[in-house]
Amino acid sequence: MSHHYATIQFLRQQGYRLTPQREMVVLAILDQEGHFTAEEVYRQVRRQSEAVNIATIYRTLDLLCDLGILTAFQVAGEPLRYERADSPSHHHLICRQCGTMIDLPDQVLHPLQEMLLDQYNFAAEFRHIAISGLCARCRDAQT
């Protein structure tokens, strides 16, 4: 919670006027874990106040992305997902059919990084890679 307070202070220092409503939205966003959509934030905020509309959620998410607090990423056909910019480096396998997401630790890509350095003399920096494909269930359903 104190971490949240620091972010609120930071926004004030940047000159953003935080109405109580806006502050509530920021806190709800900072409460989310892992990846989340605007809809998920919206559902949480609506439990506290009926007065907030989804446009406010989107504007606040955009602002936090601009300030480098959040990053946004999109998988084809899925709503935009957000996550904290300071979350540790990690990657995802995402099923293009059902949207199932499997987390990949950073080490999985180390052999690829080594190969790119070796053969292309290129030091690749993988922060957040989403690899699209088909999960086992969707492959089974095809046959």
94 lies in the site for Zn ion, by CB under 5 A: no
**CB-CB contact of 22 with 59 (8 Å):** no
Stretch that binds Zn ion, among 10-18, 57-65, 114-122, 128-136 (CB under 5 A): 128-136
**Contact status: 32 vs Zn ion (CB under 5 A):** no
Long-range CB contacts for residues 19-25, cutoff 8 Å, separation at least 24: 21/49, 21/51, 21/52, 21/56, 22/56, 22/60, 24/48, 24/49, 24/52, 25/52, 25/56, 25/57, 25/60
In single-letter form, the type of residue at position 19 comes to T
- Give the binding-site size for Zn ion (rule: CB under 5 A): 6
For Cα atoms 106, 86, 112, give the angle at the middle one, nearest 5 degrees: 20
Query: Which member of 97, 104, 106, 113 binds Zn ion (CB under 5 A)?
Result: 97
Stretch that binds Zn ion, among 18-26, 59-67, 97-105, 113-121 (CB under 5 A): 97-105
Instruction: Tell me, residue by residue from 44 to 83, as one string, x for binding to Zn ion by CB under 5 A and - for no binding.
Output: ----------------------------------------
d(CA 100, CA 102): 7
27 binds Zn ion (CB under 5 A): no
Q: Is 129 in the site for Zn ion (CB under 5 A)?
A: no
**Closest approach of Zn ion to the CB of residue 112, in Å:** 18
**Residue 95 touches Zn ion, criterion: CB under 5 A:** yes
Determine, following the binding rule CB under 5 A, whether residue 98 of this chain makes contact with Zn ion: yes
Per-residue CA distances from 114 to 108, 117, 121 (Å): 11, 5, 9
Q: Which residues bind Zn ion (CB under 5 A)?
A: 95, 97-98, 100, 135, 138
